[in-house]
Amino acid sequence: MHATVSSNVPTTARAEEAARNARDTRNDRLFAGLLKACALLVLIALIGAATSTLWLGRDAFATFGWGFLTSSAWDPTNNQYGALVPVMGTVLTALIALVFAVPVSFGIALFLTEIAPNWLRGPVSSAIELLAGIPSIIYGMWGLFIFAPFVATTIKPWLMNHFSADPPDGQVSWLVQHVPFIAKFFSSEYPFFGAGIFTAGLVLAVMIIPFISSVMREVFQTVPTRLKESAYALGSSTWEVVWDIVVPYTRTAVIGGIFLGLGRALGETMAVAFVIGNTFKFTPSILETGSTIASTIANQFGEAEGLQKSALMAIAFLLFVVTFIVLLIARLMLRRLATKEGS
């Protein structure tokens, strides 16, 4: 307002106004600088963490070269290390977690925003937020003492009966006989043992459901009632409103929420260390034991020395790389969606 200068105004007032303008500009610039510093801090922290892991892992990268990425060895007494098994385990567990967590979170969010009666929304939302606040070691203990035995007695036998070439009930299923390779993904060296990649994925799913569902719930609430009401007025069912109005309106934020959960699943440490079985054998089967980057570091860092420590730092750097690639894919997907919408 004060920017408009009228010729009728006395000079003192004009000077005051000019001073105020100058002050405002200065403050604005200060504020902008402050904000920029905040943003830069994140960037510096990220680059600092990535370069310091790369620097501390330089011995491992120098010793093993590109072979570090393709070797499945992890042998501390002979100082032979490779990142293949931990990287595979990290990606696999996170993907399994997403496969289960995304539909469930979607359902929770839809129920809370579209279907649930008002009195139920509060308690269920708080329960979800509470789940998000549980420390991961608790999930690990729960996984080790309760969930892994349940997987061993219930889920794993069922999966093996239907998908593996060596089922506990002795009858190889039609699917296994007719679809090649499927049995490879469901074989298990220890059929009576609950811990493994699949179990870790399920525990991770439970852990990331609160994150994904609360983001989804928040963004579903931002859909204008006007749009939904119009659709209902045209005779749409609840599902049609959700699929044709709510989802397209919130797509970007929903994908953002999913990737937030994925990021957490990729880096989860304690819970995974308890339920994945911690072995370094390369296997395509999700019912076998394995290890992830974070669980390997948690397990071995305390007693690691020399090249082993360097190898642990090197896989920590690879975790940055994996996460970065995942985020890149997310960005590309979003851009693809945006251009599709434009055409």
Partner 1 sequence: MFTRKLCIAALVAASLFGMSAQATDITGAGSSFVYPVLSKWSATYAEKTGNKLNYQSVGSGAGIAQIKEGTIDFGASDAPMSAEDLTKFGLGQFPSVVGGIVPVVNLQGIAAGQLKLDGKILADIYLGKVARWSDPAIAALNPGVKIPDVKITVVHRSDGSGTSFNFTNYLSKVSPEWASKVKFGTAVEWPAGVGGKGNEGVSQYVRQIPGSIGYVEYAYAKKNAISYAQMQNAAGKWVEPSAETFAAAAATADWKSAKDFNLIMTNAPGDQAWPITATTWIIMYKKSKNASHTKVAFDFFKWSLENGQPQAASLDYVPLPAPLVQQIEAYWAAEYKN
Which residues of this protein are in contact with partner 1, per CB under 8 A? 73-78, 80, 144-145, 148-149, 152, 190, 192-195, 273-274, 277-280, 289, 291, 295, 298-305, 308
Length of the chain: 343
Residue whose CB is less far from partner 1, 153 or 237: 153
Which contiguous run of DSSP H or E holds residue 103? helix 84-110
Tell me how far, at minimum, the Cβ of 181 lies from partner 1, in Å. 25
The three-class DSSP label of residue 277 is: strand
Tell me how far, at minimum, the Cβ of 260 lies from partner 1, in Å. 27
Q: What is the distance between the alpha carbons of residues 230 and 246, in angstroms, rounded to a whole number?
A: 12
Tell me how far, at minimum, the Cβ of 284 lies from partner 1, in Å. 18
Helical pair 306-342 and 84-110, crossing angle rounded to 10 deg:
40
* Residues 57/51, Cβ–Cβ less than 8 Å: no
Tell me how far, at minimum, the Cβ of 290 lies from partner 1, in Å. 10
Residue whose CB is less far from partner 1, 144 or 246: 144
Residue whose CB is less far from partner 1, 147 or 211: 147
Which contiguous run of DSSP H or E holds residue 75? strand 74-75
Residue whose CB is less far from partner 1, 73 or 334: 73
**Amino acid (1-letter code) at residue 200:** A
Q: What is the distance between the alpha carbons of residues 125 and 131, in angstroms, rounded to a whole number?
A: 10
Residue whose CB is less far from partner 1, 144 or 203: 144
Residue whose CB is less far from partner 1, 220 or 274: 274
Tell me how far, at minimum, the Cβ of 74 lies from partner 1, in Å. 6
* Other CB atoms within 10 A of residue 60 CB: 24
Tell me how far, at minimum, the Cβ of 275 lies from partner 1, in Å. 9
Tell me how far, at minimum, the Cβ of 44 lies from partner 1, in Å. 27
- The DSSP-derived string for 145-205 is IIIHHHIIIIIHHHHHHHH-SS-TTS---HHHHHSTTGGGGG--S-TT---SHHHHHHHHH
CA separation, residue 154 to residues 158, 160, 179, 227, 276 (Å):
6, 10, 24, 45, 17
Q: What is the distance between the alpha carbons of residues 83 and 93, in angstroms, rounded to a whole number?
A: 16
Residue whose CB is less far from partner 1, 239 or 301: 301
* Residues 81/311, Cβ–Cβ less than 8 Å: yes
Tell me how far, at minimum, the Cβ of 273 lies from partner 1, in Å. 5
